[in-house]
Chains A and B, each alone.
Chain A
């Protein structure tokens, strides 16, 4: 299953990347592959911006605006003017 195209905020700074491969390991959608000792985004449209890759990059080479992607939570945050995070009871 695929979601909307060209929306993922995932980027990798290949100057900082040492090719340790941790980002590729933790990605639950196999978005990243290691080749020539660097990380490459091979399936950007499969990215759900969970942030596992960025959290586990010790070089801070990976960046992504992460979140849970919960419409309910976003609407609630908009209405209450609070920070955009999932605060509903749905998970």
Chain B
């Protein structure tokens, strides 16, 4: 097989506590669903390998604590993300309203080139729906994002949404890949590339520990 670029992307799951971020991650990486779930208190991650347009893409998916008191800390993870899922729960109008706050924080703390998609989870609970599909679609258009309604429970639109965000990140960074591919015929860690380009607010040299 011909030599292909192999890249690593970091994707971040953001949204209110309880919208199902961890369930989305478990469904995508392990194809499992756990009905009763303890809140994520901290930042977890899992790895997944995809192939997009013949390019092997490894994605590191970070699952964040959505509770309000942790938001000051989790903002620090934004700056290392290439893609961000903004997740709300279609049965929770409140979580949908908060998407605007999450989006605003992303604009402030994430790299400029970060790719975003809007995800309305729990699409299987139609009888409890509080947010119409049209509302989500309209908000996504306003923000210039793709929009998916998903269900971690029924595995609806899970692969589609994750693959789509990875595609967007790949497209956004294609120029860098082609540029480096011409001179470096080795594997490429895009996240490291971005660090070298000074996209991080704080250099790793000044820190004792690295966030990831």
Q: Do A and B come from one complex?
A: no
Which residues of A are at the interface with B, using a C-beta cutoff of 8 A?
Answer: none
B interface residues, Cβ below 8 angstroms from A: none
